[in-house]
Amino acid sequence: MDREKVVEVQGLHAAFDDTTVLSDISFAAYKGEITVILGGSGSGKTTLLKHLLGLYHIVQGRASVLGKDLSGLREVEQVELYHQMGVFYQSGALLNSLSVAENVALPLAQHTRLPRELIDDIVMMKLGLVNMTHAFHLYPSQLSGGMLKRVALARAIVMDPPLLFCDEPGAGLDPVMLESLDALILNLKNMLGMSIVMVTHDVSSILRVADRIVFLDSGRVALEGDLDTALKSDHPAVKGFFGVLKHEHIRQIQG
């Protein structure tokens, strides 16, 4: 295959104290694709993501992001890598002491020399993409859970990063909002060629956006492949997950 890999993981193990959370994880995510990481609650998805973000030290195994091997990366190189990716955290992780606009503007103000007004315009437009323009002057403590998530997404994509990591962006959104979020993610992929690695539980969302699925089951990769492979899989955990859907329903959503 000559497709470019944006994320590559080989034989990754991870443990907290004595409990193993990830064992022998290997998978790849490709440029310009949406890779969905799936799995039950507590199966280690967030832990895996944090390893890819360099927030956890890799003890055993290898992982590389945008062609850079994460172990043995110098600090400057890691920072350079951070400039090329956007991250959406499961909890939102907005800074409480800053307003919504300041939160979203933070990377722009820190990393570019754009005029103040233009920064505000960009922030406004990005908030518009997630339907949150009305929150421009509000503070995170004044927002609902789903609103926080949308603002956090706006912050993650504010610099048009080539690689976007999302930890359950859709959780807590109503179905209509979720659909427009998926449309936005598809647009980012199609128009900007953004590569996206996304954790999600929502089956309808997966059917709409996933190019590739990595299914984690109790810390192991149960399945890696495209949507059809996943739907036809015999693995009990995978079957259980997709079995919820009737086949006609799948057809319908896939159009």
Ligand X SMILES: Nc1ncnc2c1ncn2[C@@H]1O[C@H](COP(=O)(O)OP(=O)(O)OP(=O)(O)O)[C@@H](O)[C@H]1O
User: Footprint of other proteins on this chain (CB under 8 A)?
Assistant: 96-97, 111-115, 117-118, 120-122, 124-129, 133-134, 136-137, 139-141, 158-160, 187, 191-192
Burial class (CB in 10 A: 0-12, 13-18, 19+), 131: middle
Among 23, 46, 180, 218, binds Mg ion (CB under 5 A): 46
Residue 254 interacting partner from other proteins, Mg ion, ligand X, none (CB closer than 5 to 8 Å by kind): none
Q: How far is the CB of 189 from ligand X (least distance, A)?
A: 23
Nearer to other proteins, 1 or 191 (CB): 191
Measure the CA–CA gap between 174 and 143, rounded to whole angstroms: 15
Query: Please, which residue, 34 or 158, has the CB nearer to other proteins?
Result: 158
Quick one: what does residue 69 bind among other proteins, ligand X, Mg ion, none, with the CB cut-off 5 to 8 Å set by partner type? none
* Closer of 19 and 141 to other proteins (Cβ): 141
Among 168, 214, 159, smallest CA distance to 188 is for: 159
Of the pair 23, 131, the CB lying nearest Mg ion is at 23
Q: Which does 115 bind (CB under 5 to 8 A by kind): other proteins, Mg ion, ligand X, none?
A: other proteins
Least distance to other proteins, CB of residue 121, Å: 5
- Which of the listed partners (ligand X, other proteins, Mg ion, none) does 39 bind, with a CB threshold of 5 to 8 Å by partner kind? ligand X
Nearest to Mg ion of 46, 229 (CB atom): 46
Answer with the entry of ligand X, Mg ion, other proteins, none that 120 interacts with (C-beta below 5 to 8 A by kind): other proteins
Minimum CB distance to ligand X smaller for 15 or for 192: 15
Nearest residue (CB) to ligand X, 14 versus 122? 14
**Closest CB to ligand X belongs to which residue?**
46
Binding site residues, ligand X, CB under 6 A: 16, 21, 39, 41-47, 90
Beta strand 34-39 pairing with 195-199: parallel
Q: How far apart are CA 138 and CA 170, in angstroms?
A: 22
Shortest reach from residue 45's CB to other proteins, in Å = 23
Residue of 103, 185, 202 lying closest to 147 (CA atoms): 103
The contact set with Mg ion (CB under 5 A) reads: 46, 90
